[in-house]
Amino acid sequence: MSTDWKKDWKKIARANGLAIPDAALERIAQSLDALEADFRPLVRTLPPETEPAVAFHAAIELSHDRKGVEDSE
Amino acid sequence: MTLLEAAAALRRRDTSSAELTAAYLQRIERLNPSTNAMQTVMADAAREQAKQADHELARGDDRGPLHGIPIAVKDLFSTKGVRTTGGSSLFADHVPDHDAAVVESLCAGGAVLVGKTGMHELAYGITSSNPHFGAIRNPWDRDRIPGGSSGGSAAAVAAGMVSMAMGSDTGGSIRIPASFCGVVGLKPTYGRVSRYGAMPLGFSLDHMGPLTRSVRDAAAVLNGIAGHDPRDETSSRRPVENYVPDLEPSIRGLRIGLPENFYLESLDPDVDAAVRAAFKTAESRGAEIVPLRVPDIAAINTVARVILLAEASALLEPHLEQRDRFGPDVLALLDQGRLLPATDYINAQRLRSALQREFAGLWSRVDCLFTPTTPITAPRIGETATTVGGQSQDVRLTTTRLVRAINALGLPALSVPCGADRRGLPIGLQIIGQPFAEALILRVAQALVPAEVPVPRL
C-alpha cells in the first residue's frame, strides 16, 4: 500500500535545522519513502484508546530517588 | 569443549583454570589475525583471575559452573578500567569506571574475562564490517561476514577462542551471528537480564544474552546473569528458574507452531529444507506440530524499525555533528531517525501494544514457534544485495526480516544450528517462546541439537 503523497525530506531537514547534506538526504530518501508507505497505513488502523508500549512509572522513579537519598546519607 | 564440559573437567582436576586460560589465549593469538573477532585481549588480567579461580576451587570455594571458565564480552559492555568502544571511533578511548551488570554477574560467578569481542559500529548493523576496527570474518569462510552486530562474539565462539561470549540483540544481533557462525545464541525476554552498563542502541528493544557452543551452556550462563536489577528501569522482578535442561529432555506432547505465512516465504532452498527437517525431527521425538497463521509480522517489523530509528538517533544526537566519526551505513540510519516526527515514534509504540496483544493470542495454541533465523546463510563481505527466490533483496533487510519483530515483542528466542547449505555454511533455526519461557525453549532446543554444535576446522 502506498501513500498518495511524498514527504520532501530536504525541506523537512532544513525546517528542523538539521545539518544533513543534500547528497546524504538523496541516498536515504528511498528508504524513508518505503518506510512511510509501510507505516502510514498502520497508523490509520489505531483506535484512539490504544496507549503506547512505553509508560511512565512514578513508583519506580520514587524508589530510585529514595535510594539516592539513602546513599548520600 | 563446551563450557559445562570444561567446568566438569576443572572439578575432576583434569585441568586447571590456568591451563584452560593459557590454551584459549594461545588460540586467540593464532586465530585472531585472520578473524578479528577479539577487539581487546586481557591476557595478564585473565591469567591472574585464572590463578585466583584455581586457588578458590582447590580450597572448596566453588562459585558454580562459570568458575574458572575463560569467557569474553561484546565491546559494548562496560568493563572497569578496560577500554569499551561500542565499535565506535567516538568511544575509542572510553575507559569506564564501573562494570556492566552482566560483567558483574559473570565475574561474581568466577568467570575469567579473557577479552572483549569486536562488533558492528554502535551495534547498529548486521555485517560487523567495522570501519574503525576492521571487518570481522566468519570462521567458516573468512571471505564472509559473521553477521552482527555481535559478530565478534559469534566468531570467537565458533573459532574456539572462548567457550562463551556475551552479545546484545536490538534487531537480531545475537541470533543473526549465531545463525551465520553456527553457534547457539539466546535472546532472553525483555527485562530478564539487566541492561545496566551496556551501551544502549534502542532503549526499548535492547536485550543481552550469551553465544555458546551448546544449548546447556547458554542456559547455564542465563542462570548466572538473569534476575532483577534496580539500576535497569525495565528489569523484571519475576523469580529466576534453573534454565539448564536435562541432557536428553522429553518434548513429548509439546505443541510446536509451524507458521503457514511469512516465516517460510522467500527462503534460500537449503534453509527451507533444513528448517522443515527440524519440524520432522521434533515430531519424531513426540512433539505435536501445529500449523497456524501468525499475525502481521511485516507490520511488527515496520513498527520496530520506526522505534529503533527514533531511539538510536535520540541517543546519538549529541554526536551527530561529527559526521566523519561514523561509518556510512550507520550515519544513513541515524539521519533517517532524525527525520521522523515524534508522532511517528509514539504511534509506533501504540501499534506495538496492539500487535503485542494480537501475538499473545498464539500462546493458547502452541508452546513455541519454529522459524528460520535468517532466510539466507552468511553473505560475502561487502555484499549489499542478495538473490532469494529469484529476487534481488537488500542484505540488511533480508537478514533481519525473521528476527526483528521478536525484539519489539520482547519474547525469548534462541537460534540453534540446524544443518548446513550446499557450501557447508551453517543454517540457524529460531525457536520463539512466550514471555519468560526461556526454560521451555532451551529444553526444546536441547532435544534437537547435538551436545556440542559442529565447529569449523581451524
- What confidence tens digit (pLDDT) does each residue in B51-82 have? 999 999 999 999 999 999 999 999 999 999 99
What pLDDT is attached to residue A65? Answer: 47
Residues B202 and B271 in one domain: no
Cell output for B373? 533465523
Cα separation of B347 and B86, whole Å?
30
For B331, the closest chain A residue by CA position comes to A24
Quote ipTM for the complex: 0.91
Residues B168 and B277 in one domain: no
Say yes or no for a CB contact (<8 Å) between B353 and A53: yes
| Residue B99 domain flag | yes
Residues B120 and B158 in one domain: yes
3-state helix vs strand vs coil in chain B, percent to 5: 40, 20, 40
| Tally of CB atoms within 10 A around B272 | 17
pLDDT, tens digit, 9 for 90 and up, residues B183-204 = 999 999 999 999 999 999 999 9
Cα separation of B173 and B159, whole Å?
18
Query: Degrees (nearest 5) of the Cα angle B370, B374, B376?
Result: 130
Say yes or no for a CB contact (<8 Å) between B338 and A9: no
Cα separation of B86 and B94, whole Å?
9
Q: Which chain A residues are Cβ-neighbours of B331 within 8 angstroms?
A: 24
Residues B259 and B195 in one domain: no
Number of structural domains (chain B) is 2
Q: Which chain B residues are Cβ-neighbours of A19 within 8 angstroms?
A: 321
Q: Which chain A residues are Cβ-neighbours of B298 within 8 angstroms?
A: 38
| Residue B239 domain flag | no
Residues B294 and B189 in one domain: no
Q: Residue A46: which residues within 8 A CB-CB, separation 6 or more?
A: B347, B350, B351, B354
Say yes or no for a CB contact (<8 Å) between A50 and B354: yes
Residues B336 and B210 in one domain: no
Report the first-to-last Cα separation within chain B, whole angstroms. 14
Side-chain-facing half-sphere of B39: CA atoms under 13 Å:
32
Q: How much is the average pLDDT of B254-258? A: 98
pTM, entire model: 0.96
Q: Residue B51: which residues within 8 A CB-CB, separation 6 or more?
A: B17, B18
Check pLDDT > 80 for residue A63: no
What is the 8-class DSSP label of residue B286?
T
Cell output for B45? 588480567
- For residue A14, name the pLDDT band (cuts at 50, 70, 90): very high
Side-chain-facing half-sphere of B344: CA atoms under 13 Å:
24
| Residue B448 domain flag | no
Say yes or no for a CB contact (<8 Å) between B352 and A50: no
Residues B178 and B132 in one domain: yes
Say yes or no for a CB contact (<8 Å) between B298 and A38: yes
Residues B215 and B292 in one domain: no
Residues spanned by the domain of B55: 3-225
Residues B96 and B188 in one domain: yes
Q: Is B280 marked active-site?
A: no
Say yes or no for a CB contact (<8 Å) between B306 and A35: yes
Q: Which chain A residues are Cβ-neighbours of B347 within 8 angstroms?
A: 43, 46
Give counts: helices (H), strands (E), chain A.
Answer: 3, 0
Cα separation of B114 and B373, whole Å?
29
What pLDDT is attached to residue A4? Answer: 57
Q: Is B149 marked active-site?
A: yes
Residues B266 and B201 in one domain: no
| Tally of CB atoms within 10 A around B13 | 9
For B82, the 3-state DSSP assignment is strand
pLDDT, tens digit, 9 for 90 and up, residues B88-98 = 999 999 999 99
| Residue B397 domain flag | yes
Residues B291 and B184 in one domain: no
Cell output for B361? 493470542
Work out the mean pLDDT of chain B and round it to a whole number: 97
Q: How much is the average pLDDT of B204-219? A: 98
Q: Residue B450: which residues within 8 A CB-CB, separation 6 or more?
A: none
Distance from CA of A10 to the nearest CA of B (A): 10
Of B225, B244, B266, which residue constitutes the final position of a domain? Answer: B225
Q: Is B173 marked active-site?
A: yes
- For residue B260, name the pLDDT band (cuts at 50, 70, 90): very high
What is the DSSP secondary-structure string of B357-426?
Answer: HHHHGGGGT-SEEEEES-SS-PPBTT--EEEETTEEEEHHHHHHTTTHHHHHHT--EEEEEEEE-TTS-E
Identify which of A28, A39, A64 has the shortest CB distance to residue B332.
A28
What pLDDT is attached to residue A67? Answer: 44
For A40, the closest chain B residue by CA position comes to B344
Q: Which chain A residues are Cβ-neighbours of B352 within 8 angstroms?
A: 52-53
Identify which of B230, B344, B350 has the shortest CB distance to residue A51.
B350
Check pLDDT > 80 for residue B453: yes
3-state helix vs strand vs coil in chain A, percent to 5: 60, 0, 40
Question: Which residues share a beta bridge with B82?
Answer: B79
Residues B180 and B293 in one domain: no
> Are B25 and B17 within 8 A, CB to CB?
no
> Residue B106 sits in a domain of what CATH number?
3.90.1300.10
Cell output for A44? 490509520
What is the 8-class DSSP label of residue B340?
S
B287: amino acid identity, one letter: A
> Are B147 and B154 within 8 A, CB to CB?
yes
A72: amino acid identity, one letter: S
Cell 494480537 appears where?
A: B358
* Alpha helices, H only, B285-370: 297-316, 328-338, 342-360
| Residue B234 domain flag | no
Residues 34-63 of A with CB under 8 A from B: 35, 38-39, 42-43, 45-47, 50-54, 57, 60, 63
Which of B78, B149, B214, B415 is catalytic? The answer is B149
> Are B141 and B423 within 8 A, CB to CB?
yes
